[in-house]
Structure 1
Amino acid sequence: MAGNPLKRLTAALAPVLLLSACGSLEPSPYTQDELRKRVTEDKVRMYVDQEPVTVPITFYEAAARALKYNLDYRLKLMEGALASNLRDVASYEMLPRVVASAGYVNRNNDSGGTSVGIEDGQVSLRASTSEQRERDLYGLGLSWSLLDFGVAYYRTQQKSDQILMANERRRKVAQNVLQDVRNAYWRALGAQRLLPQVDGLLERTHKALAAAREAETKGLLPRQDILAYQRALLDSVYLLTVRRQDLEFSQAELIALMSLPPGTRMVLADMPEPPMPEVTRDIDRLEQLSLENRPEIMEEWYRMRVDDYDLKIAKALLWPNASINLGHQYDSNIYLFNNSWNAIGLQVSFNLLKLAQLPSLNAAQQSQNQTAEARRTALSMAVLTQVRVGYLRYQLARQEVAFADESLRVDQRLLEYAQSARTASVGTELELIRAEGRMLLSRYQREAAYSNAQAAQGRLYNSIGFDVLPEAIEKNDVRTLAAEIERTINSQRGLLAGNEAKTDVAAKP
């Protein structure tokens, strides 16, 4: 046969190729060029397909950018897509298996044999064979197992619950991202408002320090008084410098949250501050919402079902298995009367010893359910505590804002008095700088108090489990998504104030 030499050569080379492959399994670290290429590609991938920043950024647009382009949130979206794909893969396991096979058989001698009489032990036939040394085999078969179908069904249900768990994790990441934006945006906006004045006052303070040292040298003021002024100016410089660093850090943090390249110059819209609503005193209703909406509780609930399916699979493996096999076979052996044939088979198997596992599995299922319920109950208790603590923190933060507003008004009046009493003397100039420094520190404390109140409000939202996102973020541009976030947050403010009509808008879809 013309094809036989090629088949023999392939059979002879297969061991050689296998040994060669085994010999090449040595560690192969990446080269420096490969590392540089990977770094370059990662940098491009971090900021790809982002809408450019062309206008001042509002809080809602900052939230929209963070939620649309944040890499952690993208990762959770990918995890959800992966779980969905794995569910689809598991569902195919319920289908019958259709196997196509082809093979080649070669032996160096003939098979065959003789027939021996049972009663006398005499050879009744001379040695003969009914099988060629070289044969081609082909087959196409279908097999379906009842046990495999049951296991695949449970695994598909498991994967479906894992998709829901991934969605809950995505919700939690989205809530945390929005919380971080709340913390950073209002501090960054305060930085944008205060940094020019802080820089100007620092420059004036350094000049005043130089003038104070000159006045000390010339004896224009009593030495004790001028040293006290210098001490006050140095304290003001220190406090202003520390606050300035905090303001700059908040801007860098906001840039990172929006996944903008480091060093990006951005301008925040100096929008009116949203009011801090009075929260309803019906804590029981907020606690009820939190138990219904918190993603951690929902994820734990789905995990209980996922774990339960593991035990169901283990129990399914205890029962009898019925399998059906259908197939068409072909054998090129010229000595066969029929070279092709169809076959059908039915087989039932049962491992009786596995039934001994059933009591242990039932006990394990009971213990697992009790553990899951205890874990969920403990988590629910922690959630209720978070709601009450979040409510108290928010109330205290609102009081802190009111106190900071009053302090700022007093310091502004003191600054106005110092400006009206200003003269050309060194002492008056120093007093004016001190008054202006106190006023700026009060403004910083007021901005910090308001940002803390916003953060407390966000923590209260998170403790209740509020969602602020449509189902498909990637299908919305930044402006549309920002409008959706603004609408939902306004609805949630109404809910916190006790407006029952907006409950469905603010609660989890």
Structure 2
Amino acid sequence: MKKNRIKIGLASVLLSAMLLSGCTSQYRVDLVKQRRDNLAEELKLIQVRETMSFPDPLTLDDVIKIGTQNNLEMRISRIMADIEKDNALAEKLNMLPQLSLSGNLGYRNSYNISKYQDVNTGQEYLGSSTNQEKATKLMNIDLSWNILDFGLSYLRARQSAMGTEIKRMERIRQSQKLAVDLSAAYWRAVLTAKDLERVKAIEAEATEYKTRAEALVAQKRLDPFIAKGIEKQVSDLSITSNNLQAEITAVKIELAKLMGLSPVTRFDLSGESSAEAYLENMPDSSKVDPRKLEIVSLNHRPELFSADLEEKVRHDEARSVLMSMFPGIRLSASQNFDYNSFLLNTTWSSMGISVAENILALPSKYMSWKAKDKTVSMVKAQRLMLTAGIIAQVHMAFHDYRTKEKQFRLYHNAWMISEDLLNMSRERNKLGTVTDVQITQRMMETVVSKLQRDRSLTDVMNSYNMLLVTLGLNFEQWSEKLAQMNENAMPEDIQTRDIAPEAKPLGGNK
């Protein structure tokens, strides 16, 4: 017995020493090692994205598809979607009743025997209670179900499911906005590349005039002042060419970022995608009814579907508080095991029902219910404000498109005039009525006019795409004729639509 006490004492001292040492020791993080490890892992992922497989050259459809699948913000949205699904499932599982299993194994050095004292005589007697062994072995299996908790869990599960749908609407809207950014970068890169080809061709032609002028100056048949004027025009064309090349590089880096690729990833954009063909599909703003666009947007915008779901969530929150005011009813059943040899029955079952209610908490719950009920009215007012805001956005986007469309037609007309003047100057230059300086000036004017026209073309296409996204249309719907669209039609795939899954790295470009 004494040895056992010594062992127990030593074990207690050792355990106390370990606890004290754990409390006094300070946890330190190796920041340098942690940063290096994380950086190595992230660089490995970036290198994989440098060698992803995608079509070459890329069309606008390819760019949108790759961007939707690989954009890092969209990747985070997918992870959040998985989290929301897991949370919704967890709330559903909370509706199950409680099932607990407990066991107890103990030992005492003496029997658990009780005695009682006669209050009249003061004499003590051994009690008639059940004896208990020194070693105790108990096991219980309890099943309980709280009806009130079940109802609250059902409402929370429904709220979580609607929260998942709200997140899905947010992802759809996110993909629509990403499509606008990808399209803007794509068309800017394509048109700038075409402008660069045009400038280089004119620069080569102007260089011929410069070479001819230098030869005439050497023969003393031309004033050097005129030759310098031609050289200045060629220099300006070279500067313009260099600026366009730098702009293409910057736009492709931005496009790679939006597509979720590394900035050093090499890819080419398809020149077959004609901006003029895209322009022909755009409607004449004078033939579009803005009131029709209002209805289209109010039937398609994902935010409005989210607002409808948010109202249901607020309703369920108010119902939850109202339900919590009712008393809790708990049904229970258990199976018990007590391996005590002194007992006649070592196993027994029990069932019961209990009712509990905190009466003093009712006033607080009532006021909380009134507050939650008022949030429903607040959400309705917010949805009305959102509806009014969307209508205003539609009119602003349509006004911007109409303005950009008129500007483009003016810039396009100015460019056509410049092209005609340049062609006339070439013919007259052959006849000797227009000098080389004048024709190089015409070339520079044509280049400037073409750049202004293409900038305006990019602006009007981006403005039209922004109008489509303001209407809540997905990229697949951009090719539809806006004037022929049924404004009262709801999105057919609104119940199931979601962003595309992330693309898997497959190796080098094909």
Q: Specify the TM-score bucket, using the shorter chain as the normaliser.
A: 0.7 to 0.9
Range moving further from structure 2, 260-269 or 122-131: 122-131
Check whether the contact 1:94–1:152 (CA below 8 A) recurs between aligned residues. Answer: yes
- 1:350 corresponds to which residue? 357
CA distance in 2, matches of 1:322, 1:266: 66
Q: Which residue among 454, 478, 483 is the counterpart of 1:489? A: 478
Contact 1:233 1:434 in 2 (8 A): no
Distance (Å, rounded) in 1 between the aligned partners of 2:294 and 2:211: 59
Look up the match of 1:458: 465
CA contact (8 A) 2:321 2:365 kept: no
Give the aligned partner of residue 301 of structure 1: 308
* Displacement of 1:354: 1.5
Q: Does 1:311 align with 2:318?
A: yes
Letter paired with 2:73: D
Structure 2 residue 481 is matched with structure 1 residue 500: no
Partner of 1:387: 394
In the other structure, the counterpart of 1:331 is: 338
Task: Rate the CA distance shift 1:105–1:182 in 2: closer, same or farther, 3 A.
Answer: same
Contact 1:90 1:156 survives alignment (8 Å): yes
**TM-score with structure 1 setting the length:** 0.81
- The secondary structure found in structure 1 opposite 2:116 is coil
Q: 1:51 to 1:232 in 2, by over 3 A?
A: closer
Unpaired segments ≥5 residues, structure 1: 469-484
Match in the other structure for 2:442: 435
- What is the DSSP-based 3-state SS (H/G/I as helix, E as strand, rest coil) of the residue aligned with 2:95? coil
- The answer to whether the 8 A contact 2:49-2:262 is kept is no
- Which whole-Å CA distance do the structure 1 matches of 2:326 and 2:10 have between them? 45
Corresponding position of 2:35 = 35
1:315-356 per-position Cα deviation (integer Å, ceiling 9, x unaligned): 322210011121222233333333322222211111111211
Pairs aligned (count): 480
| Aligned counterparts of 1:111 and 1:211: Cα–Cα separation in 2 | 121
The letter of the residue matching 1:452 is D
Matched position secondary structure for 1:465: coil
Task: Note the 1:98-117 alignment, pairs <5 A.
Answer: 98-107=99-108, 110-117=111-118
What residue identity is the alignment partner of 1:497?
Answer: A
1:382-407 CA-to-partner distances (Å, cap 9, x unmatched) read 11011011111112222222222212
Q: CA deviation at 1:108?
A: 5.5
Residues in 2 aligned to 1:256 and 1:21: alpha-carbon distance in whole angstroms: 47
Distance in 2 between the 1:507 and 1:286 partners? Answer: 20
Structure 1: how far apart are the matches of 2:322 and 2:91? Answer: 19
- Checking the alignment, whether the CA contact within 8 Å between 1:321 and 1:348 is kept in structure 2 is yes
Matches of 2:151 and 2:399, distance apart in 1: 52
Q: How does 1:66-145 map to 2 (within 5 A)?
A: 66-107=67-108, 110-117=111-118, 120-125=121-126, 130-145=131-146
Counterpart-to-counterpart distance in 1, 2:11 and 2:208: 91
Which residue of 2 is the match for residue 340 of structure 1? 347
Amino acid at match of 2:169: E
Match of 2:371 in 1: 364
After TM superposition, the score normalised by the length of structure 2 is: 0.81
The answer as to whether partners of 1:143 and 1:323 remain within 8 angstroms in 2 is yes
Q: Deviations over 1:87-139 (max 9, x none)?
A: 11111111111112223334465543212335555423279982334323222
Cα deviation per residue 1:355-414 (whole Å; 9 max; x = unaligned)?
A: 112441243134312322222222211110110111111122222222222122122223
Residue 348 of structure 2: SS of its match in structure 1?
A: strand
Higher relative contact order, structure no. (Cα contacts within 8 Å, ≥ 6 residues apart): 2
- For 2:341, what is the secondary structure of its paired residue? coil
Question: 1:278 is matched with which residue?
Answer: 284
Percent identical among aligned pairs is 21
Distance (whole Å) between structure 2 residues aligned to residue 257 and residue 206 of structure 1: 39
Is the Cα contact below 8 Å between 2:196 and 2:244 reproduced in 1? no
* Letter of the 2:35 counterpart: L
Q: For residues 393 and 341 of structure 1, what CA distance do their matches in structure 2 show?
A: 80
Distance 1:383 1:11 in 2: 72
For structure 2, which runs of at least 5 residues remain unmatched after alignment? 496-510
**2:126 alignment partner, SS class:** coil
Instruction: Evaluate the alpha carbon distance shift between residue 502 and residue 353 of structure 1 in structure 2; reply closer, same or farther with a 3 A threshold.
Output: closer
Whether the aligned pair in 2 keeps the contact of 1:169 and 1:295 (CA below 8 Å) is: yes
The 8 Å contact of residues 111 and 129 in structure 1, kept in 2 or not, is answered as no
CA-CA distance at 1:292 after TM superposition:
2.3
Amino acid at match of 1:314: V
- Further displaced range: 269-278 or 459-468: 269-278
Query: What is the DSSP-based 3-state SS (H/G/I as helix, E as strand, rest coil) of the residue aligned with 1:186?
Result: helix
Cα contact 1:328–1:343 (8 A) shared by 2:
yes
SS at the partner of 2:125?
coil
- Pairs within 5 Å for 1:252-267: 252-267=253-268
